Chain A
Amino acid sequence: MAKITLKNLRHSYYTNPKGPQDFALKEVDLDWQDGGAYALLGPSGCGKSTLLNIISGLLVPSEGQILFDGNDMTTATPDQRNIAQVFQFPVIYDTMTVRENLAFPLKNRGVDPATIDQRVYEIAEMLEVTDMLDRRAAGLSPDNKQKISMGRGLVRDDVNVVMFDEPLTVIDPHLKWKLRTKLKELHQRVGRTMIYVTHDQTEALTFADQVVVMELGEVVQVGTPVELFERPAHTFVGHFIGSPGMNVLPAEIKNGVAHFYGHPVELEGPIKEGTSGKLEVGIRPEFVGLGDTGIEAHVRKVSDIGKHTVVDVEVGEHRVSAILNGAPPAKGDIVHLQFKPSQTRLYADGWLATDVVPESTATGEDAA
């Protein structure tokens, strides 16, 4: 049970890193509050597993510190850190029964047998594996094996953090949902810090209270699922979260007003001072509407995805997606796009470059 602090963490797998491109982790400063449910979200190769292994102690970072409640744990072994980790592929001890598997971490630490029995029973109940306690673990289905792996992580009641490294990768889709719900429920019951690493936005957003989005070895945004969705701090977050992701369109500033393809675009608020570099306008498809006036566009594709319709249009050579309710246009139609100003933002070199306007001025001018 501890607050975990990462300070100026950098890691390279090379012994003599020559530049930023050699670093798997570029510079990470993060605080993980005790008892929180966190997700570490990012595409493959973004450094999230490296970060996880550094927290668990399987990897010693090239630079920086890891503090548990203020104590430096940078070079401590996983055992000393008292953490638990669940891996991508279920790790079970083949020759043992389910009961012995669950008891293993406790037995290795010399816990007395009565306590072991009680803890194993409690965890088995939580995971709903009580009826298989005396079966050989080798014969179980992948989802049950993964439950046992999780169980070994949860069975100790003194762990500082339980980490999950893409634990649902090998699980059948219909069971994924069940296990995910189970995990969420377990977090609420045991109240321990949990860090869930995944590249799947649904898994991250359903599990976590706080999501840490990573790309190319950097943390791009930390926030609640709603924050990440509504106000991405970086175009990458906009792309990565949402389906389809945020529209990111080239922009230029004329007389202090952002323009896309010659059309002025109203933004959520004032542009930050000193904004320069590559400018882009970001707007989620959910907030692109059609009207009688606006930016003229060509409908290229209309996909009905059940609840609503995803319309792909072209403005010149730029593609824009819109999610529409109600009657969609037909392929080949000419339409006029309207961006909801309160959800339209400017990004400079990928980073958010607009400030939010106070609530009162933002409402009322929303496009229909």
Chain B
Amino acid sequence: MKTENQKAWFFVLPVLLLVAFNALIPMMTVVNYSVQETFGDNLFFWEGLTWFEQILRSDRFHAALGRQFMFTALILIIEIPLGIAIALSMPRKGFWVPVCLVLMALPMLIPWNVVGAMWNIFALPDIGLMGYFLNHVLGINYDMTQDPVAAWVTIITMDVWHWTSLVVLLAYAGLVSIPDAYYQAAKIDGASNWSVFRFIQLPKMKNVLTIAILLRFMDSFNIYTEPFVLTGGGPGNSTTLLSIDLVKIALGQFDLGPAAAMSLIYFAITLLVSWLFYTLMTKDDLN
């Protein structure tokens, strides 16, 4: 006779409540908005999938999505190799290890809007350290409020400064977990430095790098505060990333229906890319 104990459900309950209130219920509100039109006063009119259609066909959305993918692609292309390179050149033992680790962790401890404000001032052509130096010392015409290229260079540099450390720390964790025997065996096998990297370090870092890329993808794809504070999406719309555009539609124009539809599409894209990436990266491990 099998007795069933249902007590376990009580242990799951707090998590269920937590998830319900911080994710499911707000999300369902968004779903609710995305299929209706409202003018305030809690009056709603059924619109079906109109907003989804409108967003998916809108050039403005396509442009913002394009900028968003470009931003994410650029920062990944820079931060991942750079992070690996820094991690490889960090000491593995001794006095400098904690020093390096703390220095690396510092940028990540700064609040996002402070980072945006810092870089904004830093880049101002007449009073900012970098802006002044570029314009008046090196003689390069640099003004991120006027020039889209300068604006892009600035937000990319800012993100690299803020988040490469994350890749460094993860890659470093992967590196220090490699037993010495691997390096010794490689020496005895006559492997070159490149072979050591290609056949020992990179494979052993694969799992942490998968996590690093995933985290950097999700964070950069959803980035809002830093570019908003730094450029406000300008000049023109040149740095209006998806999230900035979304806030413009929702709070600037008060188009809650289209904004809700856009949020859901945005969420679906993030989820889909993350899932695809993770599945592809881990499929070898299953066999």
- Decide whether A and B assemble into one complex: yes
| Interface residue? B199 (CB, 8 A) | yes
With a CB–CB cut-off of 8 A, which chain B residues contact A88? 181
| Interface residue? B200 (CB, 8 A) | yes
Interface-located stretch among A64-72, A103-111, A218-226, A314-322: A103-111
Residue contact B203 to A89, C-beta cutoff 8 Å: no
Q: Please, how many residues of chain B have a CB less than 8 angstroms from a CB on the other chain?
A: 17
| Interface residue? B252 (CB, 8 A) | no
Q: Please, how many residues of chain A have a CB less than 8 angstroms from a CB on the other chain?
A: 26
With a CB–CB cut-off of 8 A, which chain B residues contact A53? 184
| Interface residue? A87 (CB, 8 A) | yes
With a CB–CB cut-off of 8 A, which chain B residues contact A84? 188
Residue contact B185 to A85, C-beta cutoff 8 Å: yes
Residue contact B184 to A58, C-beta cutoff 8 Å: yes
Question: Which residues between 52 and 110 of chain A lie within 8 Å of chain B, taking CB atoms?
Answer: 53, 56, 58, 77-79, 83-85, 87-89, 91, 93-96, 104-105, 108-109
Residue contact B188 to A85, C-beta cutoff 8 Å: yes
Question: Which residues between 150 and 206 of chain B lie within 8 Å of chain A, taking CB atoms?
Answer: 179, 181-182, 184-185, 187-192, 195, 199-200, 203-204
Known: A79-B190, A93-B203, A108-B192. 6 other contacts (CB 8 A): A79-B187, A85-B188, A87-B184, A105-B188, A108-B190, A108-B195
Distance A285 CA – B128 CA, assembled complex (angstroms): 86
Q: How far is the CB of A23 from chain B (nearest CB, A)?
A: 22
Name B's A-contacting residues (CB within 8 A): 179, 181-182, 184-185, 187-192, 195, 199-200, 203-204, 287
Closest residue on chain B to residue A80 by CB atoms: B190
Can you name 28 A-B pairs with beta carbons within 8 Å? A53-B184, A56-B184, A56-B188, A78-B187, A79-B190, A83-B188, A87-B181, A87-B185, A89-B179, A91-B179, A91-B181, A91-B182, A91-B185, A93-B199, A93-B200, A94-B203, A94-B204, A95-B199, A95-B203, A104-B189, A105-B189, A105-B190, A108-B189, A108-B190, A108-B195, A109-B190, A139-B287, A149-B185
| Interface residue? A152 (CB, 8 A) | yes
Residue contact B187 to A58, C-beta cutoff 8 Å: yes
Closest residue on chain A to residue B199 by CB atoms: A93
With a CB–CB cut-off of 8 A, which chain A residues contact B192? 108
Distance A89 CA – B200 CA, assembled complex (angstroms): 15
With a CB–CB cut-off of 8 A, which chain B residues contact A95? 199, 203
Question: Which of A89, A91, A136, A139 has the most chain B CB atoms inside 10 A of its CB?
Answer: A91
Closest residue on chain A to residue B192 by CB atoms: A108
Closest residue on chain B to residue A87 by CB atoms: B181
Q: How far is the CB of B137 from chain A (nearest CB, A)?
A: 47
With a CB–CB cut-off of 8 A, which chain B residues contact A78? 184, 187-188
Closest residue on chain A to residue B198 by CB atoms: A95
Distance A245 CA – B203 CA, assembled complex (angstroms): 46
Distance A84 CA – B187 CA, assembled complex (angstroms): 10
With a CB–CB cut-off of 8 A, which chain A residues contact B184? 53, 56, 58, 78, 85, 87
Closest residue on chain B to residue A84 by CB atoms: B188
Question: Which of A53, A83, A95 has the most chain B CB atoms inside 10 A of its CB?
Answer: A95
Question: Which of B181, B182, B191 has the most chain A CB atoms inside 10 A of its CB?
Answer: B181
Residue contact B181 to A89, C-beta cutoff 8 Å: yes
Q: How far is the CB of A104 from chain B (nearest CB, A)?
A: 6
Q: How far is the CB of A41 from chain B (nearest CB, A)?
A: 21
Distance A109 CA – B181 CA, assembled complex (angstroms): 20
With a CB–CB cut-off of 8 A, which chain B residues contact A91? 179, 181-182, 185
Q: How far is the CB of A304 from chain B (nearest CB, A)?
A: 42
With a CB–CB cut-off of 8 A, which chain B residues contact A152? 185, 189
Closest residue on chain B to residue A100 by CB atoms: B199
Residue contact B187 to A104, C-beta cutoff 8 Å: no
Distance A136 CA – B286 CA, assembled complex (angstroms): 13
Distance A85 CA – B287 CA, assembled complex (angstroms): 30
Q: How far is the CB of A260 from chain B (nearest CB, A)?
A: 47
Q: How far is the CB of A263 from chain B (nearest CB, A)?
A: 53
With a CB–CB cut-off of 8 A, which chain B residues contact A77? 187
Q: Mark A230-262, 1 if CB is under 8 A from B, else 0.
A: 000000000000000000000000000000000
Distance A142 CA – B182 CA, assembled complex (angstroms): 16
Distance A223 CA – B272 CA, assembled complex (angstroms): 68
Distance A29 CA – B182 CA, assembled complex (angstroms): 29
Q: How far is the CB of B285 from chain A (nearest CB, A)?
A: 9
**4 tightest A-B contacts by CB?**
A108-B190, A87-B181, A91-B185, A105-B189
Q: How far is the CB of A88 from chain B (nearest CB, A)?
A: 7
Closest residue on chain B to residue A108 by CB atoms: B190
The contact of B199 among A79, A96, A109, by CB within 8 Å, is A96
With a CB–CB cut-off of 8 A, which chain A residues contact B187? 58, 77-79
Distance A57 CA – B189 CA, assembled complex (angstroms): 13
With a CB–CB cut-off of 8 A, which chain B residues contact A108? 189-192, 195
With a CB–CB cut-off of 8 A, which chain B residues contact A96? 199
Closest residue on chain A to residue B182 by CB atoms: A91
Q: How far is the CB of A154 from chain B (nearest CB, A)?
A: 12
Distance A230 CA – B18 CA, assembled complex (angstroms): 73
Residue contact B191 to A104, C-beta cutoff 8 Å: yes
With a CB–CB cut-off of 8 A, which chain B residues contact A58? 184, 187
Distance A85 CA – B190 CA, assembled complex (angstroms): 12
With a CB–CB cut-off of 8 A, which chain A residues contact B179? 89, 91
With a CB–CB cut-off of 8 A, which chain B residues contact A93? 199-200, 203
With a CB–CB cut-off of 8 A, which chain A residues contact B195? 108
With a CB–CB cut-off of 8 A, which chain B residues contact A153? 188
Distance A91 CA – B199 CA, assembled complex (angstroms): 12
With a CB–CB cut-off of 8 A, which chain A residues contact B203? 93-95
Closest residue on chain B to residue A159 by CB atoms: B188
With a CB–CB cut-off of 8 A, which chain B residues contact A136? 287
